[in-house]
Amino acid sequence: MNGLLELNAVAARDALDKKAISAVELTTAYLGAAEATAGLNNYVALTADHALALAAESDKRIASGAAGLLEGLPIGVKDLFCTKGISSTACSNILRGFVPPYESTVTANLWAAGGIMLGKLNCDEFAMGSGNETSAFGPAINPWQGKDKVDLVPGGSSGGSASAVAARSALMATGTDTGGSIRQPAAFCGVVGLKPTYGRCSRWGIVAFASSLDQAGPFTRTVADNALMMTAMASHDAKDSTSTQAPLQDLIGAVGDGVKGMKIGVPKEYVIDGMDSEVVTLWEQGQAWLRDAGAELIDVSLPHTKYALPAYYIIAPAEASSNLARYDGVRYGMRVDAETLDGMYEATRAAGFGEEVQRRIMIGTYVLSAGYYDAYYLKAQKVRRLIKGDFDAAFQIVDALLTPATPSAAFPVGRKIDDPVTNFLNDVFTVPANLAGLPGIAVPGGVTSDGLPLGLQVLGRPFDEATLYRVAGVLEQAAGFTTTPARMAGGAA
């Protein structure tokens, strides 16, 4: 069965069409892999019967020549996506047992393309975190191990998604990215993760965190797989008023197009204090790879970069405090009874929300409260415009930007941090793209001296995911990243 797990998505599609393998065999192998790696805690629900029923239907469609773009490919779904008839909790106690009577648009698109749902994947509670440690189901674990064999975080918030794809317990997975929640875990787990342009994928049916920043995207093993999955995920959706009508580019064809003659910017502000020297080395290596492939590397400046993180930590909590007001113990989710209505709200929300979520709701409530709105929220929105302006100016000169994905490799689970601000620094290279609404992709570039993966990030113009896939395709080929994690299904450990 191990041979089945070796296949990437493009290869698996090919083998399915040639009837060399069946969707039921492939799905069975992934369900087995998920059980074999259950210790990584990256699934919060495995939907085996549902998956096998879908796989049997896929095999019929393949036999009748009606295969979809993702026909027969096993996919894991971040538990932030609502899936009809299947528990969807945002990994929060306040939504424990919630079974949506509807399907998110993104997952509906995946199933319409023939994708097979394996189950729901662990994430930070309401996607708030950078290590998957705030989940009500406990932390997901990174299948990669350092020298000392301690458990490492897979990153967050889409930690279960990145962990499952790296551990080969899902061939592909969905994620969401509000401040780096796809790109940072992709880098920590050595897989490919794309945050599309804001508006490219519908947000309908995804549990909302910060609505002006949230975007869904794919996790895969290769760049070509990523373009394949993204092509199926994206759609215009009248149910999301921010959904774009711009036509989708040929992403699958772009992967092999190369970067000859392309102008790639290197932003000087993406060198920060406390950054791992191996990250800098990989970044320089990435520049050399692109130069060797015929791109022109150009130094650019994004002067407001250092203000992106503080602006984000005003805007995101503000939007979250508003979005999470709906969890009131009345219509769905947890309720803690009390004498009065307000007492019921307060008791329910105190018991249902974890510490990090409560902290962010309170920050958001404060920055939106009378007397502080202008000083914090309006100020942050003005800085947001300046940050977007920096990118607009850079993209007058260059076609894409190359940066590190994260300032360090994955860190140990349970690392004691007294200061929440230190945790926020994980997102320093990813947050600016969310504020500006730009697409970004993380691609594995190499491993540290401790054997942990590091990623490179490519940022592009709005709705120009094709350029990202061109650059990412070159980086992937040059990096020749074939190292696999210790705790992989079918692996040695």
Partner 1 sequence: MSVDKTTVAKIARLARINVPDDRLEPLAAELNGILNWIAELEEVNTDNVEPLASVTGHALPMRDDVVTDGNRPDDVLSNVPEGASGFFVVPKVVE
The residues that are catalytic are 78, 157, 181
Shortest CB 236 distance to partner 1, Å: 10
Residue 344 makes contact with partner 1 by CB under 8 A: yes
One of 52, 298, 386, 486 touching partner 1 (CB under 8 A): 386
Residue 273 makes contact with partner 1 by CB under 8 A: no
One of 150, 288, 341, 393 touching partner 1 (CB under 8 A): 341
Tokens of 31: 């369900």
Shortest CB 32 distance to partner 1, Å: 32
Residues in 93-122 at the binding interface with partner 1, rule: CB under 8 A: 97-99, 101-102
Q: Are 203 and 234 in contact (CB under 8 A)?
A: no
3 state DSSP class of 194: strand
Answer whether the bond into residue 322 is a cis peptide, omega within 30°.
no
Residue 417 makes contact with partner 1 by CB under 8 A: no
Please say which residue, 183 or 200, places its beta carbon nearer to partner 1: 200
Shortest CB 407 distance to partner 1, Å: 17
Using the contact rule CB under 8 A, the part of the chain among 3-11, 12-20, 156-164, 357-365 near partner 1 is 357-365
Please say which residue, 222 or 348, places its beta carbon nearer to partner 1: 348
Site string for partner 1, 291-330 (x = CB under 8 A): -------------x-xx--xx-xx------x---x--xxx
Residues in 198-227 at the binding interface with partner 1, rule: CB under 8 A: 198-199, 212
Shortest CB 457 distance to partner 1, Å: 19
Please say which residue, 234 or 334, places its beta carbon nearer to partner 1: 334
- AA identity, residue 361: I
3 state DSSP class of 76: strand
Burial of 172 (0-12, 13-18, 19+ CB in 10 A): buried
One of 50, 61, 96, 379 touching partner 1 (CB under 8 A): 379
Pairing of strands 453-460, 400-404: antiparallel
Please say which residue, 277 or 340, places its beta carbon nearer to partner 1: 340
Tokens of 137: 């189901």
Residues in 224-263 at the binding interface with partner 1, rule: CB under 8 A: 238, 241-242, 244-245
Q: How many other CB atoms are found less than 10 A from the CB of residue 424?
A: 16
Residue 353 makes contact with partner 1 by CB under 8 A: yes
One of 78, 168, 203, 384 touching partner 1 (CB under 8 A): 384
One of 164, 363, 398, 488 touching partner 1 (CB under 8 A): 363
Residues in 18-77 at the binding interface with partner 1, rule: CB under 8 A: none
Cα-trace Rg, the chain: 21
Residue 349 makes contact with partner 1 by CB under 8 A: yes
- Report the C-alpha gap between 179 and 181 in whole angstroms: 6
- Cβ neighbours of residue 446 under 8 Å, at least 6 residues apart? 282, 285, 453, 454, 479, 481
Residues in 431-460 at the binding interface with partner 1, rule: CB under 8 A: 435-437
48-63 and 9-17 helices, crossing angle to 10°: 50
Tokens of 280: 């800098």
How many residues of this chain bind partner 1 (CB under 8 A)? Answer: 72
Q: Are 186 and 457 in contact (CB under 8 A)?
A: no
DSSP type of residue 182: T
| Burial readout 18-47 (b: 16 or more C-beta within 10 A, e: otherwise) | eeebbbbbbbbbbbbbbebbeebbbbbbbb
One of 18, 147, 149, 331 touching partner 1 (CB under 8 A): 331
Residue 366 makes contact with partner 1 by CB under 8 A: yes
- Report the C-alpha gap between 195 and 179 in whole angstroms: 10
Tokens of 281: 């080395």
Shortest CB 424 distance to partner 1, Å: 8
Tokens of 91: 């990994």
Please say which residue, 3 or 420, places its beta carbon nearer to partner 1: 420
Task: Map tokens 């609502």 to a residue.
Answer: 82
Please say which residue, 271 or 325, places its beta carbon nearer to partner 1: 325
Residue 486 makes contact with partner 1 by CB under 8 A: no
